[in-house]
Amino acid sequence: MEIEPEVMVLLSGGLDSSACVSFYINFGRPPLGLFIDYGQLAVDNELRSAKAVAEHYSIPFACLKWRGWLPKGEGLIQARNLFLISAALMERPETISVIALGIHAGTRYPDSSEHFLGCMQSVCDTYENGKVKLAAPFLEWNKADIHAYCLQENIPVHLTYSCERGGSLPCGECLSCKDRQLLYVST
């Protein structure tokens, strides 16, 4: 009999969320991977990577699709993590008691902070009376820490995609590409 997952990882197909999948598997809590297509430029590459990571780890995978009327570009997308958490909360299977994100230290995004996570936990508690916890296991780690974890745990980094522009090759200019480039300069 297959055990229903109790953790849902917001799986973008990038390095951080892929590490988050591995983290929960290593913790003995194989997750459900949830990809959300919200009209981002890199949706095709991100979805392909998220599916590949889920397949690599043999975890259940789900995809949600939503379209607003404004185009979503690179860089800060206002309320992105708020939206992703809300969508996950709305669509979570009953067995899910943890919604996990790969957010980490070292970014200037306001929705990648302990304060943001605490505020969102309060919102979740309003709806779920404490039955659903938000988790960000890498909240105090920087990108280099996550990269080191990926190497230590043999996470399939080659399956991940992190360019915000969505081209077949990384652009080398967006914040995600620059963040990832720093890894190879410092190692």
pLDDT at 11 over 50: yes
Least confident of 60-74, 135-149, 173-187: 173-187
pLDDT at residue 184, as a whole number? 56
Strand partners, 65: 37
**85 belongs to a structural domain:** yes
The tokens describing 73, both together, are 């570009």
**140 belongs to a structural domain:** yes
Asked if residues 30 and 99 have their Cβ atoms less than 8 Å apart, the reply is no
User: How do residues 61-108 score in pLDDT, each as one tens digit?
Assistant: 999 999 999 989 888 889 999 999 999 999 999 999 999 999 999 888
Task: Provide the CATH number for the domain around residue 126.
Answer: 3.40.50.620
**55 belongs to a structural domain:** yes
pLDDT at 1 over 60: no
Q: Specify the higher pLDDT residue, 172 or 52.
A: 52
**2 belongs to a structural domain:** no
| Alpha-carbon distances, residue 10 vs 59, 66, 146, 182, 185 (angstroms) | 13, 15, 16, 24, 28
User: How do residues 149-166 score in pLDDT, each as one tens digit?
Assistant: 999 999 999 999 988 999
Q: Torsion over CA of 142, 5, 152 and 10, rounded to 10 degrees? A: -30
**21 belongs to a structural domain:** yes
Looking up tokens 């990384």, which residue turns up?
170
Domain ranges, residue 46? 7-186
- Cα separation, 159 vs 67, in Å, equals 26
**1 belongs to a structural domain:** no
pLDDT at residue 99, as a whole number? 98
**152 belongs to a structural domain:** yes
H or E segment at 98?
A: strand 98-100
**82 belongs to a structural domain:** yes
pLDDT tier at 187, thresholds 50, 70, 90: very low
pLDDT tier at 174, thresholds 50, 70, 90: confident
pLDDT tier at 124, thresholds 50, 70, 90: very high
Strands lying side by side in the sheet with 61-65: 61-65, 32-37, 7-10, 98-100, 133-135
3-state secondary structure of 10: strand
The domain tally of the chain equals 1
